[in-house]
Structure 1
Amino acid sequence: MAAVESQARAGRGPGAEVPSLEGIPLLGSLLDLKSDSLGTYLRAQAQHGDVVRITAGPPGLRAELYCVFSAEGAQQVLASQSANFRKDNTFYQELRESFGNGLLTSQDEDYLRQRRLVQPLFTKRRVDGYAGAVAEETQATLTAWEQAPGGIVDVSDEMMELALRAVARILFGTDVDATVDVVDRCFPVITEYVLRRGYSPANVPRNWPTPGNRRAAAAMDELYAVCDRIIAERRTAGTGTGSGTGTGSGAGEDLLSLLSAAGSTQDGEFDAAELRDQVLIFLLAGHETTATSLAFSLHLLGRHPEHQARAREEVLRVLGDRTPEAADLERLPYLTQVLKEAMRLYPAAPVIGRSAVDATEIGGHAVPAGSNVILAPWVTHRNPRYWPDPERFDPDRFTPEGEAERPRYAWFPFGGGPRACIGQHFSMLESVIALAMLLRAYEFEAVDTEVPVSAGITLRTHGPTRCRIRSTAA
């Protein structure tokens, strides 16, 4: 006991020393992380196990990353000891300064208040009401594909557009086109800026007039302006007058109108700046994640025609010619398994960062107070302890029996614990409806069989993700 107390006083929890990934003199693993962070994390786990220390950067600016790759470790960080692991690292601060202090980035009482105000808007019944809007946006995509040059589409680009239009429509009602144009133009500039600053050992102040700062500031000003304009219009019109989200939208109100009306005696209501923060976070997290899941589901099915045929048979048997609705999620189990397996191999959030408040022990290893702790769904989702032949695409891993045999956090594309993604039911609803309609209308054959990816704010593709499409009606 005395030894344990001595370690805790020294800022290091009980347990064995964490093994280190070998790097190069002076820079450690900095260059490896910059060129291929996901591959570096995989190599660290293969060489040293489920808790590994990676150092990166020159002396004086060196970062130490305590990487946790086990399901049990992920559960500890995200759930059972979540209070000890905070969003206090540089990356989250940069994200907060660019996209606001919304649900994804806020902490402590700010987060709890926001969650209480927003949670009633994400009940299953409320979210199910958006099924009609998703179906209408998917049908618009199918119509556009009738003119696809050479019968080839880039599913990454197409699903990004579909998911963005769906979430913008649900947020803003009829104010979709202007919003989509601004997001398409501004998001890439801002996200690159966040990534560059978030992973740099040192940054100049944001208010210095460097070219990078000025480009990012202009993009943020334009993005903020369109959100502020729409918010002001909603508040001038009053609540309960949202322009609707299309067929099956339930209450007939867009999400912004509902956010504007949200309030309680305990928590008050959102002011205009807080509303903008929530909108920006919903735009960021609500379209890139779903787009990634849809794109790689189509890409993987395009490489595995036997699974594609099985999924299509289920869709045709369950839906026939009718438009899918929310209740169909439970009627399309194999299609849901396809999506889950795609999210296993290509998790939209491949890396999750936290900062340890107090010294602790993870997987029998000592993690010091103040440590940067890295969870990597990209690695845990490929851990052979949970996933035999982990690189193989096999939707049958996600039968109810298969899921019951694995630890809860062997698969966590939506995070977990008290800060699990509030929109995960919406993401699954949108993905199942869209994928069902796409597979009913077209057969997919992957043109680009290998798609390089990297970890950004979400999983990023490098190069095209093209599929050849053939109408099933032909």
Structure 2
Amino acid sequence: MAEAVRVPGLEGVPVLGSLFDLKADSLRTYERARQRHGDVVRISAGPPGLRAELYCVFSAEGAQRVLASEAANFRKDNAFYQEVRDSFGNGLLTSQDADYLRQRRLVQPLFTRKRVDGYAAAVAAETGSTLAAWAEARDGIVDVSAEMMHLALRAVSRILFGADVDATVDVVDRCFPVITDYVLRRGYSPANLPRTWPTPGNRRAATALDELYAVCDAIIAQRLGAAPHAQAEGEDLLTLLAGARGEDDATFDPAELRDQVLVFLLAGHETTATSLTFALHLLGRHPEEQARAREEVRSALGGRLPEAGDLERLPYLTRVLKEAMRLYPAAPVIGRKAVAATEIDGHTVPAGADVIVAPWVTHRHPRYWSDPERFDPDRFAPEAEAGRHRYAWFPFGGGPRACIGQHFSMLESVIALAMLLRAYEFEALDREVPVSAGITLRAEGPARCRIRRLEG
């Protein structure tokens, strides 16, 4: 085996390195790093003494090493994950080691395919509410980014909280942006003041966290105080989490329940909203593909509501969503910290290094994708997928920490998109929608579509 070599560095400015480039557009900075230096690149940012060094891994083979084959050597120990923990708790997204294994065992039975398929009716109901609200804008213009965020939040809140959905949606809608912006600022800053200091930013975040925690804690207390038969009859996910039992009769205590709820709210609505937003945006720019998807929906469903079993009858619509997730992955960057020095793609990544894999970049890598910026759902036809590296497309992560809600996300997205396309024709008015890498991929501008109601 050839001797591993030092990782090449992206050129930056004196003293501050690539700090301004990362702040201005981190995703394009990562793309430029791969184009100039290859599949493993070191990016330095910040002044001496506070400088951060990121080791970026862009190949599918490298992503597989970091997330799967050597996952134990790449941990969620970086500053960004600590900020997420401090705000959203130590749930499945952020926990590690024994805590993570215990939580995963308790939650896994609630995310079997059979159990998740039972949520289809809730998704269809919330999509129906969105369609009803659009009825007044018969030939109007909607911002599908804002609309899909609201739809996805309503759907995941209904599945989590059941009849208490209205008590949570407004609070989450108001508080989440404040908290996620706060986490991002602190997670990517070379130095932070303590959260306890009464700065304006700390106070705004603390107020939002207190309000969010209070509504979750109140609903959790109600669930835990319910009669045993009432809990057993409950169908919402929170009731099932409250009743989950593991080895040695292990359960979640109230604080742990809140941590799981916050993670499900965060991961369960922003990611699906991103997939739906850009599926509609891309279809709105490609009328032939939109017509093909709509014809499949009408042929498979007629006029009835979609059900979980219909996913197999909608293969082209599924390809549309996969292609939207390729071009706009909801988790565009995934961070880890290396425990020990590791060779990746012929380069040595040192122990203690902050490491990222970037679906945003790998999903556009010309080694795996021809004409990578082109929208082409048939990239995900079975014969095309069969010849492609498993980690050329990994919007849900991979390895032992792969997203537990992958099937739920696909179920929700296919059902909602099928109903939307059957009812409306979409014409994208914004050719490009600017995006940035937050906790999830975020649209930085509107994704406006002119919608036209379809008869029948």
Q: Which TM-score bucket, shorter chain as reference? A: over 0.9
Q: Is residue 52 from structure 1 mapped to residue 41 from structure 2 by the alignment? A: yes
Map 1:364-403 to 2 at 5 A: 364-403=346-385
Matched AA of 2:168: T
Contact 1:239 1:257 (C-alpha < 8 Å) held by counterparts? no
Measure the CA separation in 2 of the matches of 1:240 and 1:136. 26
Measure the CA separation in 1 of the matches of 2:99 and 2:131. 41
Give the counterpart of 2:277 among 292, 295, 305: 295
Measure the CA separation in 2 of the matches of 1:461 and 1:323. 30
Q: Is residue 323 from structure 1 mapped to residue 305 from structure 2 by the alignment? A: yes
Give, in angstroms, the shift of residue 449 of structure 1.
1.1
Contact 1:156 1:295 (C-alpha < 8 Å) held by counterparts? yes
Normalization by structure 1: what TM-score? 0.95
Q: Is residue 255 from structure 1 mapped to residue 237 from structure 2 by the alignment? A: yes
Aligned to 1:214: 203
Give the counterpart of 1:139 among 128, 145, 151: 128
Aligned to 1:229: 218
Map 1:317-356 to 2 at 5 A: 317-356=299-338
Give the counterpart of 2:268 among 278, 286, 295: 286
Matched AA of 2:95: S
Helix, strand or coil at the partner of 1:58: coil
Helix, strand or coil at the partner of 2:179: helix
Q: Is residue 185 from structure 1 mapped to residue 167 from structure 2 by the alignment? A: no
Deviations 1:312-344 (Å, cap 9, x if unpaired)? 000000000011000001110000000000000
Measure the CA separation in 2 of the matches of 1:319 and 1:377. 33
Runs of 4+ in 1 over 2 A off after TM superposition: 238-243, 264-267
Measure the CA separation in 2 of the matches of 1:125 and 1:77. 31
Contact 1:240 1:257 (C-alpha < 8 Å) held by counterparts? no
Give the counterpart of 1:101 among 72, 86, 90: 90
Helix, strand or coil at the partner of 2:426: strand
Matched AA of 1:372: D
Matched AA of 1:352: I
Give the counterpart of 2:185 among 185, 189, 196: 196
Q: Matched residues, percent identical?
A: 79
Which consecutive unaligned segments of at least 5 residues does structure 2 have? none
Give the counterpart of 1:435 among 417, 432, 446: 417
Q: Is residue 89 from structure 1 mapped to residue 71 from structure 2 by the alignment? A: no
Contact 1:65 1:373 (C-alpha < 8 Å) held by counterparts? yes
Q: Aligned pair in 2 of structure 1 residues 240, 355: CA closer, same or farther (>3 Å)? A: farther
Contact 2:138 2:451 (C-alpha < 8 Å) held by counterparts? no
Measure the CA separation in 2 of the matches of 1:196 and 1:75. 29
User: 91-100 vs 234-243, which deviates more?
Assistant: 234-243
RMSD over aligned CA atoms reads 1.4
Give the counterpart of 2:150 among 155, 161, 183: 161
Matched AA of 1:152: I
Aligned to 2:104: 115
Aligned to 1:407: 389
Contact 2:34 2:40 (C-alpha < 8 Å) held by counterparts? yes
Give, in angstroms, the shift of residue 264 of structure 1.
2.4
Measure the CA separation in 2 of the matches of 1:445 and 1:272. 46
Helix, strand or coil at the partner of 1:175: helix
Contact 1:241 1:253 (C-alpha < 8 Å) held by counterparts? no
Contact 1:239 1:258 (C-alpha < 8 Å) held by counterparts? no
Aligned to 1:246: none
Give, in angstroms, the shift of residue 252 of structure 1.
5.3
Normalization by structure 2: what TM-score? 0.98
Aligned to 2:398: 416
Contact 1:117 1:267 (C-alpha < 8 Å) held by counterparts? no
Contact 2:231 2:243 (C-alpha < 8 Å) held by counterparts? no
Give, in angstroms, the shift of residue 52 of structure 1.
0.4
Contact 1:19 1:52 (C-alpha < 8 Å) held by counterparts? yes
Give the counterpart of 2:24 among 12, 32, 35: 35
Q: Aligned pair in 2 of structure 1 residues 204, 60: CA closer, same or farther (>3 Å)? A: same
Aligned to 1:205: 194
Measure the CA separation in 2 of the matches of 1:170 and 1:234. 14
Give, in angstroms, the shift of residue 149 of structure 1.
7.8
Contact 2:6 2:347 (C-alpha < 8 Å) held by counterparts? yes
Give, in angstroms, the shift of residue 167 of structure 1.
0.3
Q: Aligned pair in 2 of structure 1 residues 240, 280: CA closer, same or farther (>3 Å)? A: farther
Give the counterpart of 2:292 among 287, 310, 325: 310
Matched AA of 2:285: R
Helix, strand or coil at the partner of 1:53: strand
Measure the CA separation in 1 of the matches of 2:304 and 2:252. 40
Give, in angstroms, the shift of residue 242 of structure 1.
5.5
Measure the CA separation in 2 of the matches of 1:200 and 1:277. 25
Measure the CA separation in 2 of the matches of 1:46 and 1:168. 41
Measure the CA separation in 1 of the matches of 2:111 and 2:17. 44
Contact 2:435 2:441 (C-alpha < 8 Å) held by counterparts? yes
Q: Aligned pair in 2 of structure 1 residues 45, 130: CA closer, same or farther (>3 Å)? A: same
Measure the CA separation in 1 of the matches of 2:394 and 2:229. 36
Contact 1:242 1:254 (C-alpha < 8 Å) held by counterparts? no
Measure the CA separation in 2 of the matches of 1:192 and 1:337. 32
Give the counterpart of 1:445 among 410, 420, 427: 427
Measure the CA separation in 1 of the matches of 2:354 and 2:137. 46
Give, in angstroms, the shift of residue 310 of structure 1.
0.3
Which consecutive unaligned segments of at least 5 residues does structure 1 have? 5-13, 244-250
Contact 1:294 1:431 (C-alpha < 8 Å) held by counterparts? yes
Give, in angstroms, the shift of residue 156 of structure 1.
0.5
Q: Aligned pair in 2 of structure 1 residues 175, 393: CA closer, same or farther (>3 Å)? A: same
Q: Aligned pair in 2 of structure 1 residues 365, 241: CA closer, same or farther (>3 Å)? A: same
